Amino acid sequence: MMIQDDVAIASFAAPPAACAICGSDSGIEARRDHPHDAQTFHIRMADSVNRRAEASLLIRKMYDWRGYAFDAARFHDPNKITLYAETGGVVVGTMSLCLDSAILLPADENFRDLLDLLRAQGRRLCEPSRLAIDKGVTKRVFASLIHISYLYARAIHGFTDYVIEVNPRHVMFYQRMLGFRDVGAVRDCTRVGAPAVLLRLPLEEMGAQIRRWGGRVEQHGDERSFYPYFFPPCDEPGITARLLAGLN
């Protein structure tokens, strides 16, 4: 039985001061027609046809705005989960997490040789993808989606590394805000018709940053990454339990 639409994996309230997410260097801009005041956000698993369709629509709008191609058929992949954030019944953010298997990862289409080197080292790879956030939405939506996907990959399935394909102009954003590192040189991404760089983040390093900074928005000082916007480590057991409940 999957998580029902009225059961949230996590919820949080965000004041207006926490808004204005990523800027133009992230590649995560989306719709520009949905302003938000202080409100409560819920993170859920897109386990219904309607919710998957809403998440797909948000991604399509983001891709259209940036001039990228979007293949809807690839969005509905049985080898991944899709998370979404909503407030007031409106989907305002979404991301998917692809787990490495015999089906391989989306990044294998352009970076198979580099990913195979990591696999040969015993690394278990997963790929966050299809990330879309409404403009003006709190940074905590982005951080929460990433944190929950981390728990799904690391705590539940024992994966060791995130790998992502990003446009070269967004590389510094992912390095600065989450700690990703370059794996190889620029190549053409055939799925979206744009150049791409492969980045990698060991999940043990992400876990260390979460333990250090998670939940410390008010005390982050000079820390400029997204990690203070993650959930506090003490919330992780409950979030993991709710994820597991939705997978049984």
Residue 2 maps to a domain = no
Count helices and strands (H / E) in the chain. 7, 9
The whole-angstrom separation of Cα 21 and Cα 29 is 9
Using an 8 Å Cβ cutoff, are 94 and 62 in contact?
A: no
Residue 171 maps to a domain = yes
Alpha helices, DSSP H only, in 101-138? Answer: 108-120
Q: pLDDT by residue (tens digit) across 144-191?
A: 999 999 999 999 999 999 999 999 999 999 999 999 999 988 998 887
Q: How many domains does the chain contain in total?
A: 1
pLDDT of the residue at 3: 35
Residue 4 maps to a domain = no
pLDDT surpassing 60 at residue 14: yes
Phi, psi of 83, rounded to the nearest 5 degrees: -105, 150
Residue 161 maps to a domain = yes
Beta bridge partners of 132: 94
Least confident of 22-36, 45-59, 134-148, 166-180: 22-36
Instruction: Assign residue 91 the CATH number of its domain.
Output: 3.40.630.30
pLDDT surpassing 80 at residue 198: yes
Using an 8 Å Cβ cutoff, are 196 and 227 in contact?
A: no
Give the DSSP H or E segment for 173.
helix 171-178
Neighbours of 245 (CB within 10 A): 13
pLDDT surpassing 90 at residue 26: no
Using an 8 Å Cβ cutoff, are 178 and 226 in contact?
A: yes
Q: Which two tokens stand for residue 234?
A: 């003490």
At 22, the pLDDT band (50, 70, 90 cuts) reads: very low
Residue 173 maps to a domain = yes
Residue 1 maps to a domain = no
Using an 8 Å Cβ cutoff, are 129 and 192 in contact?
A: no
Residue 139 maps to a domain = yes
DSSP-derived 3-state class of residue 159: coil
Domain that includes residue 58, residue range: 10-247
Q: What is the pTM for the complete model shown?
A: 0.81
